[in-house]
Amino acid sequence: MADLGEIMRGEAAEYLRTHGATPVQHKDIRAVTRCRTREAGTVTVKCGQCDDPYRLFCSCRNCSCPSCQGEARAKWLAARFEEILPVDYLHVVFTTPSELNVLALFCPREFYEALIRAAGQAVIDVGRFVLHAQLGCTTELQTWTPLMALDPHAHCAVPAGGFSNDGVRWISFQPKDLPAAALAKRFRSLLCKRIRKAAQQGKLKQLPSTIPVEQLLAKVLPLEWEVYAEPAFGGPQKLFEYLSRYVYRVAITNDRIESYENRQVTFRRRSRRHGKQVKRSIMHGQEFVRRWLLHVPPRGFVRIRSYGFLGNRNRKRNMERARQLIGKANQAPRSSSPQKLRLLRLCPKCSEQNRSKRTLHFAPPPEVASQITLSLRPPPIPPVAA
């Protein structure tokens, strides 16, 4: 089966000759093309079964590489499972109108920062004024559709309860008590306010002069913004498992890619209209690279954050206090926590004998020619939209 690295090695050189790329996009392309190849280097390790030494390719550990984030994902999920409170959880999704996608193209850092902050603050504000409780939420930014088109939206995991204003009581509520309409209005107000403020501070200078910010906001303010707020299907564990699949990857995983032949990429996707129905899509390699680069996050951007009483500053103390007030401190569902990730590294010989085990990236003998012949030009100095 093909993977993202193989596609990038075949298409990235031509793409960079005909398109612009920001420095961070250029860096991620080079990382993915070098990942688990001779250019990334090799390391000698011992087989976990026969103790014989063998050579293994090094990984790039880039946040956009789908081959390098399994361990980080498992650690993040285990930490979230330890924090689950013995209450119901809501899955809240904030979606922005497509008219604002131009901001994601030209000013991704400013727009994504405003989006994720507005989503978290909307949950806190509606909880304070409607439910009279201090809520908390874990918010994650996603920017892609199953076809890797640009679709910025935020997913939130919200416990169905919060502290009273004086902090001495725990206020529980039913999932239906958190109104989606109020969340949508507050989210629209906060996001537009932040976009307008960023424009006044000169942070949206990369936006073309033919797209005035005030005119853009005038188009989206009268629209009905979509917010999904329903109980988490399968409980909070399933909700965090769903979020974990998107925390440490960008747009697509290697297991969805079926083939890369004649510069055509074939990959699987799920239909939005028909739920779990799986379809196959065929896309030209250059278009595949373009869409993948749309979702490379700005340098240093954190795509998952916590707000309210789940904020990082006082999270541990607030979680202990919440369990005390709920009165079920010993009933937190921690028994379902995933086991600690343990990699069983097997040499090629032992791997053949244990076909059920996942094969790692074995390095070839020294006399084998290099697997990558990609010469990347230096990135452009002024960042441009891909």
**Closest C-alpha to 144, from 263, 306, 269:** 269
Per-residue model confidence (pLDDT) at position 167: 84
Phi-psi region of 93 (alpha: psi -120 to 50; beta: other; left: phi over 0): beta
SS3 category, 266: strand
d(CA 135, CA 306): 11
**What is the predicted pLDDT for the residue at 65?**
84
- The b-or-e profile of 290-303 (16+ CB within 10 A means b, else e) is bbbbbbbbbeeeeb
**Alpha-carbon span 328 to 326, nearest angstrom:** 6
The answer for residues whose C-beta is within 8 angstroms of residue 366's C-beta and 6 or more apart is none
Which amino acid is residue 59, in one-letter code? S
- The answer to whether 330 and 82 have CB atoms below 8 angstroms apart is no
Residue 316 pLDDT > 70: yes
Count of Cβ atoms closer than 10 Å to residue 89 Cβ: 24
Q: Which residues contact 272 (CB under 8 A, 6 or more apart)?
A: 145, 146
Q: What span, in angstroms and rounded, lies between the C-alpha atoms of 322 and 162?
A: 8
Angle between helices 213-220 and 180-200 (to 10 degrees): 170
Measured in degrees and rounded to the nearest 5, phi and psi for residue 196 equal -65, -40
Query: Is the CB of residue 47 less than 8 Å from the CB of residue 232?
Result: no
Report how far apart, in Å, the C-alpha atoms of 127 and of each of 34, 185, 192, 238 are: 47, 14, 20, 24
* Confidence bin at 234 (pLDDT 50/70/90): confident
The reported pTM is: 0.84
Nearest-CA neighbor of 294 among 102, 114, 139, 140? 102
Ranked by mean pLDDT, the top range of 104-118, 329-343, 345-359, 367-381 is: 104-118
pLDDT tens digits, one per residue of 242-293: 999 888 888 888 888 999 998 999 998 887 665 567 888 999 999 999 999 9
| pLDDT, position 384 | 46
Rounded Cα distance between 162 and 136, Å, is 7
Residues 45, 53 contacting (CB under 8 angstroms) = yes
Query: What residue segments make up the domains of the chain, in order of their start?
Result: 1-59+255-293+340-386, 85-251+301-331
pLDDT attached to residue 372? 45
Give the C-alpha separation, 367 to 370, whole Å: 9
